[in-house]
Amino acid sequence: MSAGIGGVEVDVVRDGVAAEEMTLNMGPQHPSTHGVLRFVVKADGEVMREAIPDVGYLHRSIEKIAEKVGYHGFMPYTDRVDYVAAMPCNQGWAMVCEKLAGIEVPKRGEYCRVIAVELNRIASHLVAVGSMGMDIGAFTPFTHALRERERINDLMEELCGARLTFNYMRIGGVAYDLPPGWAAKLVAFLDRFEPLLEEYNDLISFNKIYVERLVNVAVITRADAIDYNLVGPNLRGSGVKFDVRKDVPYSIYPELDFEVPVGTGERGTLGDCFDRYMVRIREMQQSCRILRQCLERLPAGPVMWKVPRKFKPPAGDAYVRVESARGDMGWYCVSDGSEYPHRVRIRTGSFAAMAIIDHVSRGLMIADLVAVIASLDVVAPEVDR
């Protein structure tokens, strides 16, 4: 029960000394929040009582914009839903439009989509694991991760002319086929990158100080991960083996052979920050495996179906799911038969992840909140839209 001492409201009295609860604002501009996010932290000294996310700083009414710019016109906006991994956003919007209209994408177009998405997944995870090390105090691994991401950006730029917001996919396929010689450059990147992942693990993943900062911190049990509706690496880090590519298969993923990494509690407790980190490391290895298979099996043929400029799908609604870098991303669209969607709704993984931060942060040190946010790989535009 709270007591008043000297005009200050306190929660506890230790050895006759009032323990005052402090309210701290972390963000909205803070280097470890990875976007414009604010956390209202109530702490007793260095120990957090609660950390309440305060979102909305990046809200841009992007779902409403879809109703005003039309089906084709909305594709560039989808890049802004998750600017770190924009390809899955392109794919989700294209797929929901194709489902509404009953369009089948040419096989080569599907392969181009998966190649682009998996490359982008690696780039996104490199930002996640690199910035996580930097947030905790190790700067060098971040430079190594960003160096490899820049090589991916070079490949992306050659593929579609952009390095971050791609606007590569179209309703019915993709905008461009793989350029001549591009596949060989991708193989050369994979040959270089896969051994470097092991070097990265030696550099930081299994570094004694880094491991001790992450193990047994912010443990999310399997039950909590499901109850809070976590998705992607955050769900799989708690040992739940669910991946949309495997469990709700789409595109050409059923034809590909790859594993779904899950947390194992290998250094601490199942579902801790270290498990979520290692899931992303191992997903990059699996993405390399997928890319090699796609290049080996790439069929000939067109990459784009003929879709009218005035795209008018029949009245109805459709929902599709894709496995983005941050997990299960849902795209819902209602058509009234006109050139403009009647309603668009986007379900993202970062928004779900924000809800569990207060639950897992209670009793942790303030410095641990940095590790918690980084391990959940929250991207602010996904939260607000």
Q: 225-271: per-residue pLDDT in tens?
A: 999 999 999 999 999 999 999 999 999 999 999 999 999 998 989 99
- Contact between 71 and 93 under an 8 Å Cβ cutoff? The reply is no
Instruction: Look over the chain and give the mean of its residue pLDDT values, rounded to a whole number.
Output: 91
What tokens appear for 116 in the block? 């682009």
Residue 142 pLDDT: 93
Angle between helices 107-136 and 140-160 in degrees, nearest 10: 160
Question: Within this chain, do residues 268 and 364 fall inside the same structural domain, yes or no?
Answer: yes
Same domain flag for 86 and 162: yes
Per-residue CA distances from 320 to 22, 30, 168, 272, 329 (Å): 45, 34, 19, 30, 8
**Residue 11 pLDDT > 60, yes or no?**
no
Q: What is the mean pLDDT of residues 42-63?
A: 90
Q: How confident is the model at residue 213, as a pLDDT?
A: 93
Same domain, 296 and 274: yes
> Residue 45's pLDDT is what?
86
User: 150 and 87, same structural domain?
Assistant: yes
Examine the fold and report which residue of 54, 74, 92 is the final residue of a domain before the chain moves on: 54
For residue 31, report the phi and psi dihedrals to the nearest 5 degrees. -60, -20
Residues 95 and 159 in one domain: yes
Q: Please count the structural domains in the chain.
A: 2
Residue 13 has pLDDT above 70, yes or no: no
Could you read off the pLDDT of 371-380 as tens digits, one per residue? 999 999 999 8
Residue ending a domain, choose from 13, 38, 54: 54
| Residue 44 shares a structural domain with residue 81 | no
Reported pTM = 0.92
pLDDT of amino acid 60: 87
Dihedral pair phi/psi, residue 231, rounded to 5°: -140, 170
pLDDT of residue 1: 34
Q: Are residues 38 and 81 in the same domain?
A: no
For residue 101, give every residue at least 6 positions away whose Cβ sits within 8 Å of its Cβ, in sequence order, or none. Answer: 171, 307, 311, 313, 314
Please check whether residues 177 and 304 belong to one and the same domain: yes
Domain residues for the domain of 86 are 62-384
Answer yes or no: is pLDDT of 214 > 80. yes
Query: pLDDT tens, 280-338?
Result: 999 999 999 999 999 999 999 999 998 988 999 999 999 999 999 999 999 999 999 99
> What DSSP string describes 245-309?
HHHS--TTGGGS---------SSSSTTSHHHHHHHHHHHHHHHHHHHHHHHHH---S-SB----S
Coil vs helix vs strand at 329 = strand
Distance CA(354)–CA(303), nearest Å, equals 38
Q: What is the pLDDT of residue 119?
A: 97
pLDDT band of 40, cuts 50, 70, 90: very high
Residues 36 and 125 in one domain: no
Based on the fold, state whether residues 234 and 335 are members of the same structural domain: yes
Average pLDDT over residues 355-376: 91
CATH of the domain at 140: 1.10.645.10
Say what the pLDDT of residue 12 is.
55
Q: Are residues 168 and 251 in the same domain?
A: yes
Shared domain for 237 and 333, answered yes or no, is yes
Q: Is 12 helix (H, G, I), strand (E, B) or coil?
A: strand
The residue to which tokens 């890319």 are assigned: 291
Closest CA to 117 of 354, 241, 286, 234: 286
* Token duo for residue 53: 């996310």
pLDDT at residue 173 greater than cutoff 70: yes
The answer, yes or no, to whether residue 2 has pLDDT greater than 90, is no
Q: Is the pLDDT of residue 187 over 60?
A: yes
